[in-house]
Every structure is written in structure tokens, then in C-alpha cells.
């Protein structure tokens, strides 16, 4: 039989993308399973997104990821949007079915998978506090609501954004999602089972920054999670650990959202340990 040199193609479209480590973990997964697939990291300015997607169709890409600033803008170029991605209002993963591009959002699902698998917490019936009202907070709040959380409290600096997100997601999911302004230090109460920093506070190069949160009132089992993955060891998580609270870092969300994408594209179970190791190496934390 002649050799088949033609690879199946995937891509990530964003700007900037230079430091996006997703390609490293997807390529490591292809190697592990012996798949002749390639993942290209492509810089696409906003004005070129439509052309990039036409190119993806022309090249027969099996799918692609979207990162900053394309997660919302991409919606109008797709053939179908999964219900949870529609509620979130953003797509980070596109898969191809025949000639149709279908938009998914794996960010919140990846987060929840980490909460269940790595931290052993089932969000059903639990009360969550989500710090932030940007894309990550929106995806996480939606999936928590769809997973049966008893309540999601959104705490955000900009009141308009936080209140609008809480009202929108409450009406879309039927879950009690409330907003509370973030003035000064936010004091956690013993009612919360899960606290998530879904802001960009602590992200490189401001790695010493810490969300203004007082954890003293937390109950001892409250899970403290951070979406920031660069660096994965944030001062916020370090403070929680110092108080003896269980923690979950942003690498968990990043690897599981990628693993869900891998399964959607290839139909194979993702080699999660290999992907995690590749990510840690790419980020210099192996
Ligand atoms: P957005 O820009 O959409 O939202 C940023 C949020 O952070 C806003 O709610 C903003 O509040 C808040 N914020 C930023 N700075 C401050 C500050 N100094 N004080 C208070 N609030 C602040 O970003 P994303 O939601 O897309 O990303 C947020 C983080 O999530 C990033 O670090 C990103 O890397 C990470 N992320 C991680 C993923 C993973 O897999 N681990 C996946 C996706 C994202 P305001 O509304 O008031 O401006």
C-alpha cells in the first residue's frame, strides 16, 4: 500500500497566538495515538476572520479553536451552534460534520470536568461564587447552571457587565444566578462550596497580583479554583492552600477543554496525562 502523506488538519485562530500552548498538547496527543493529524497555530487579525474560515472550508480542516478576539465574532460564520455555546454566546471549538461547521464551547465543560475529576466535587446542588464576568466567567457560570448548581453568585468589578451577565444567564438556564458588586475586598461566606477566580488577575506578566478576596469566612471544604494557567501556581491558590482549602489550578481547565475538543474532532478518547505533561513543559512548569 502506498504511504499516505496527507495529514488531517486542525488550527487555532487568534491574535495574539504566539504564546498559545494548545498546539503543543494537541500534537502530543496525535503522536501518542499515532494519528496523522496536524494542529496549526495561526495568527488571524479580526478583519481576516471571515477569510480564515473560508480558508478552513477550502482546506477541509476537521475543525479549529478560536481564541482572543474571535470567540464571539465567529458565531455568524458557522452553520450551527451547540445549545450551551449559544447560551454562553461564544465558541472556542469548531468541528466539521460533512461540510457543516458546528460551534461548541468547551471552556466551561473543561472546567467542570476538572472540578469533578481532579477535585472530586459534584457541582449539582452546590453554591458557587464566580469572580469576573468576561468570557471565562460566562462559560463557567453557564455550565455550572446547566449542571444543576443550586446558585451561582457573580461578583464583578464593573456592575453593568456583571448584572447583565447574571440576568441573561439566569433567564437562559433557569438557575438562580445573582450579581453582587465587587467593592473593595470581597468577603467569602461559609455558604459557598466553590469559589472561582475567572478574572485575569494573576495572569503573566502580573503574576504577583491577587484578587481582593478575604477567605477567612470560608468553610473548610470550599474548593478554590483559578482559571489563570500562566503561571498555574497563582498567589490566590497559594493563599487558599495556606488556609488548608482544597484548590484547582487553571491547567486543569485548559487540558480538559482541549481533551473535549480532541474527542469531538477525532472521535478518540484523549490521552489526558500526555496532554497535561506537554502543556506543563510548554509553560515551563514541568
Ligand atoms: P475577559 O477580558 O473577557 O474578562 C476579564 C474579567 O476579569 C472581567 O470580568 C474583568 O472585570 C476582570 N478583571 C480584570 N482585571 C481586573 C482587576 N484588576 N480587578 C477586578 N476585575 C478584573 O477575559 P477572559 O474571561 O477571556 O479571560 C479571563 C482569564 O481566564 C484569563 O486569565 C485567561 O487566560 C483565562 N482563561 C483560562 C482558560 C483555561 O482553560 N484555563 C480558558 C479561557 C480563559 P471587568 O468586567 O470589571 O473589566
User: What pLDDT does residue 286 have?
Assistant: 78
Q: What is the pLDDT of residues 2-39, one digit of tens each?
A: 678 899 999 999 999 998 999 999 999 999 999 999 99
Instruction: Kindly report the average pLDDT of the chain as a whole number.
Output: 96
Domain boundaries, the chain: 8-105+252-282, 122-248
Residue numbers annotated as active site: 71
Q: How confident is the model at residue 276 (pLDDT cuts 50, 70, 90)?
A: very high
Per-residue pLDDT, averaged over 162-182, amounts to: 97
Nearest residue by C-alpha to atom 22 in ligand 1: 199
Q: State the distance from the centre of ligand 1 to the C-alpha of 198, rounded, in angstroms.
A: 6
Is the pLDDT score of 123 beyond 80? yes
Nearest residue by C-alpha to atom 16 in ligand 1: 201
Q: State the distance from the centre of ligand 1 to the C-alpha of 209, rounded, in angstroms.
A: 13
Atom number, ligand 1, closest to the C-alpha of residue 107: 42
Contact assessment for residue 110 and residue 255, using Cβ atoms and an 8 Å cutoff: yes
Fold observed for domain 8-105+252-282: Rossmann fold (3.40.50)
User: What pLDDT does residue 285 have?
Assistant: 86
Q: What is the pLDDT of residues 176-197, one digit of tens each?
A: 999 999 999 999 999 999 999 9
Portion of the chain with pLDDT greater than 90, in percent? 96
Q: pTM of the predicted model, to two decimals?
A: 0.96
Q: State the distance from the centre of ligand 1 to the C-alpha of 108, rounded, in angstroms.
A: 14
Arch. (CATH architecture) of 122-248: 3-Layer(aba) Sandwich (3.40)
Per-residue pLDDT, averaged over 150-164, amounts to: 97
| Cα separation, 110 vs 7, whole angstroms | 27
Task: Please state, as a whole number, how many other Cβ atoms lie within 10 Å of the Cβ of residue 140.
Answer: 28
- Topology alike, domains 8-105+252-282 and 122-248: yes
Pocket of ligand 1 (CB under 6 A): 107, 132-137, 156-158, 161, 199-201, 203, 227-229, 250, 253-254, 257
- Residue among 111, 138, 157 whose CB has most ligand 1 atoms within 8 A, to mutate: 157
User: What pLDDT does residue 96 have?
Assistant: 98
Q: What is the pLDDT of residues 32-78, one digit of tens each?
A: 999 999 999 999 999 999 999 999 999 999 999 999 999 999 999 99
Q: What is the pLDDT of residues 77-91, one digit of tens each?
A: 999 999 999 999 999
Is the pLDDT score of 1 beyond 70? no
Q: State the distance from the centre of ligand 1 to the C-alpha of 131, rounded, in angstroms.
A: 9
User: What pLDDT does residue 31 have?
Assistant: 98
Amino acid at each position: 500500500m502506498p504511504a499516505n502523506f496527507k495529514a488531517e488538519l486542525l488550527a487555532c485562530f487568534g491574535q495574539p497566538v504566539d504564546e498559545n500552548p494548545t498546539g503543543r498538547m494537541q500534537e502530543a496527543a496525535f503522536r501518542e495515538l499515532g494519528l496523522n493529524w496536524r494542529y496549526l497555530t495561526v495568527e488571524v487579525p479580526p478583519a481576516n476572520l471571515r477569510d480564515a474560515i473560508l480558508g478552513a472550508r477550502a482546506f477541509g480542516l476537521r475543525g479549529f479553536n478560536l481564541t482572543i478576539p474571535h470567540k464571539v465574532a465567529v458565531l455568524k460564520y458557522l452553520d450551527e451552534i451547540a445549545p450551551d455555546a449559544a447560551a454562553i454566546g461564544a465558541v472556542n471549538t469548531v468541528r466539521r460534520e460533512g461540510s457543516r461547521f458546528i460551534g461548541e464551547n468547551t471552556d466551561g465543560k473543561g472546567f467542570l470536568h476538572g472540578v469533578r475529576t481532579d477535585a472530586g466535587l459534584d457541582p449539582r446542588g452546590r453554591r458557587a461564587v464566580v469572580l469576573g464576568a468576561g468570557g471565562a466567567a460566562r462559560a463557567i457560570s453557564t455550565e455550572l447552571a446547566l449542571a444543576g448548581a443550586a446558585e451561582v453568585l457573580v461578583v464583578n468589578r464593573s456592575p453593568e457587565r456583571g448584572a447583565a451577565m447574571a440576568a441573561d444567564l439566569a433567564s437562559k438556564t433557569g438557575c438562580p444566578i445573582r450579581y453582587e458588586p465587587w467593592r473593595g475586598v470581597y468577603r467569602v461566606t461559609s455558604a459557598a462550596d466553590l469559589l472561582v477566580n475567572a478574572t485575569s488577575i494573576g495572569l503573566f506578566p502580573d503574576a504577583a497580583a491577587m484578587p481582593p478576596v478575604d477567605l477567612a469566612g470560608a468553610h473548610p471544604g470550599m474548593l478554590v479554583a483559578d482559571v489563570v494557567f500562566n503561571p498555574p501556581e497563582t498567589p490566590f491558590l497559594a493563599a487558599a492552600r495556606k488556609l488548608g482549602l482544597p484548590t484547582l489550578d487553571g491547567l486543569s481547565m485548559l487540558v480538559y477543554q482541549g481533551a473535549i475538543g480532541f474527542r469531538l474532532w477525532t472521535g478518540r478518547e484523549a490521552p489526558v496525562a500526555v496532554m497535561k505533561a506537554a502543556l506543563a513543559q510548554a509553560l515551563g512548569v514541568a
